[in-house]
Amino acid sequence: MLRIGLTGGMGAGKSTVARELVESGAVLIDSDAIAREVVAPGTPGLAALVEEFGEGILAEDGSLNRPALAAVAFADDVSRGKLNAITHPLVGARTAELIGDAAADAIVVQDIPLLVENGLAPLMQLVVVVGADEATRLRRLVEQRGVDEADARARIAAQATDDQRRAVADVWLDNNGAPDAIRARVRELWEQRLVPFERNQRAGVRARAAYRLVTDPEWDVQARRIIARLHLACGASAVRIDHVGSTAVHGLPAKDIIDIQITVADMTTAESLSDALAGAGFPLAAHVTHDNPKPSPHDPDGTDLSRWGKRLHGNADPGRPANIHLRVRDSLGQRFALDLRDWLRADEHGRAEYLAVKRGAELAAADLVGDEAGEAYYRVKEPWFDAVYPVVTEWARARA
Ligand code: ADP
């Protein structure tokens, strides 16, 4: 099962996108509908609200009078806190129940207007944001939904900004254009990303990237989003989580795959995280048990695997390949991943040399596919790592 978060400013077109996703086959969980359901007449939720805020919040027919509730509950932070303490757990429980009812291969879309405001993005395997210029949103709200203009402006101003939404958006759906255009984009997203993502996750398959060097100014924010999800999946078992590898070095061309290192206390902890990581969309590469040992004075031939152990997971999302390396705190591999990144960030010549080696590796893999491409690529790259290892470790030692 895949959990997708859908959000966007008022009037941007969330409901329009949600409808198209449902037509494609998604299971929709509408948080506004749940928020109404848990305080419908006859529910324990409504009874709790009346107990807290009095009979004055009820309409004549016994249903909730929302403006009356808002008047008392939004009066101050304490009242607002009491309202949330009643409704949030009920909404959470009902949401969990609906997610639990979804089929094992379902693509569940949670429509959450306040996803950004409530910090829910890391809970989702993918966040889709529907965006439209403020003027467009206002016009739609006023002309198509009959909202009073001043009211629409005030509500838009009270929500998250587009910059805040962009920071969590794995997918940004621009809905400034015609309805047909956004519907076509949603279909494409469904077929090219969501369906294969769900299939990969269920089958434990990691998304791959081509052995081609590119640059992308978004790598850093994409890594941050992955790290937020990993923190949630690992909890206190992660000593630290870092963006490592070439995509963490500004301006250095790299294969379009983000490397993340999760530092753990020991390998048993790494193993214990397998299910949580797989469930969060990061399946295990079971065949990988260590990095290639690098020659050092203690191990001149570079054959001692014991200090280079690791577990490897990958992202199932075909739209964002990532390698997730789990390494033990202060193991040689864990130190080297951090030191190499920092050295590359600091040393212009090192960066140029590494790029030249990578260009050679790219060329060696150019006409090959699958495992053969990977082997050709790493045959060129690995000797350079062996050669640079003492340089990098010495640089890090001198700096410490
Ligand atoms: P939200 O759920 O994000 O508040 P809606 O999906 O309800 O937004 O869209 C707001 C209004 O704008 C609706 O009346 C909808 O039919 C209309 N709308 C959505 N997308 C477009 C579009 N691309 N062009 C014109 N009108 C649109």
pLDDT at position 20 is 98
pLDDT at position 170 is 97
Taking only the tens place, the pLDDT of each residue in 8-20 is 999 999 999 999 9
Which of 371, 370, 305 lies closest to 332, judged by CA?
Answer: 305
Q: Is residue 255 scored above 90 in pLDDT?
A: yes
CA of 12 to the centre of ligand 1 (A): 6
Q: For the domain 2-203, what is the CATH superfamily, name and number?
A: P-loop containing nucleotide triphosphate hydrolases (3.40.50.300)
The predicted model gives 221-250 an average pLDDT of 97
Q: Is residue 389 scored above 90 in pLDDT?
A: yes
CB 299 within 8 A of CB 293: yes
> Residue 297 — very low, low, confident or very high, per pLDDT cuts 50/70/90?
confident
Taking only the tens place, the pLDDT of each residue in 47-61 is 999 999 999 999 999
Report which protein residue has its CA nearest ligand 1's atom 19. Answer: 13
Report which protein residue has its CA nearest ligand 1's atom 6. Answer: 13
CA of 91 to the centre of ligand 1 (A): 25
Amino acid at site 398: A
The predicted model gives 126-147 an average pLDDT of 94
pLDDT at position 373 is 93
Q: Is residue 237 scored above 90 in pLDDT?
A: yes
Look up the pTM and report it: 0.92
Q: Give the binding-site residues of ligand 1, using a 6 Å CB cut-off.
A: 8, 10-16, 130, 140, 144-145, 175, 177-179, 182
In whole angstroms, what is the distance from residue 352 CA to residue 319 CA? 29
Share of the chain above pLDDT 90, in %: 94
270 labeled binding residue = no
Domain made up of 219-399: CATH architecture = 2-Layer Sandwich (3.30)
Q: Is residue 130 scored above 90 in pLDDT?
A: yes
On the 0-12 / 13-18 / 19+ scale of CB atoms within 10 A, 191 is exposed
CB 182 within 8 A of CB 175: yes
Taking only the tens place, the pLDDT of each residue in 332-374 is 999 999 999 999 999 999 999 999 999 999 999 999 998 899 9
104 labeled binding residue = no
CA of 176 to the centre of ligand 1 (A): 10
pLDDT at position 360 is 96
Report which protein residue has its CA nearest ligand 1's atom 14. Answer: 144
CA of 28 to the centre of ligand 1 (A): 17
From the alpha carbon of 18, which atom of ligand 1 is closest? 6
pLDDT at position 99 is 96
Taking only the tens place, the pLDDT of each residue in 22-74 is 999 999 999 999 999 999 999 999 999 999 999 999 999 999 999 999 999 98
pLDDT at position 205 is 97
Report which protein residue has its CA nearest ligand 1's atom 20. Answer: 13
CA of 19 to the centre of ligand 1 (A): 11
Amino acid at site 267: M
Which residues of the chain does CATH 3.30.460.10 include?
Answer: 219-399
Share of the chain above pLDDT 70, in %: 100
> Residue 400 — very low, low, confident or very high, per pLDDT cuts 50/70/90?
confident
Report which protein residue has its CA nearest ligand 1's atom 22. Answer: 179
Q: Which of 10, 14, 16 maximizes ligand 1 atoms within 8 Å of its Cβ, making it the mutation to test the pocket?
A: 16
CA of 357 to the centre of ligand 1 (A): 51
93 labeled binding residue = no
The overall average pLDDT reported for the chain is 95
CA of 140 to the centre of ligand 1 (A): 6
From the alpha carbon of 9, which atom of ligand 1 is closest? 3
60 CB contacts (<8 Å, ≥6 apart)?
none
CA of 129 to the centre of ligand 1 (A): 14
Report which protein residue has its CA nearest ligand 1's atom 18. Answer: 13
Q: 210 is written with which tokens?
A: 């081509």
CA of 17 to the centre of ligand 1 (A): 9
Lowest mean pLDDT among 145-154, 182-191, 211-220, 322-331: 145-154
Which residues of the chain does CATH 3.40.50.300 include?
Answer: 2-203
16 labeled binding residue = yes
11 labeled binding residue = yes
Q: Which of 15, 22, 112, 182 maximizes ligand 1 atoms within 8 Å of its Cβ, making it the mutation to test the pocket?
A: 15
13 labeled binding residue = yes
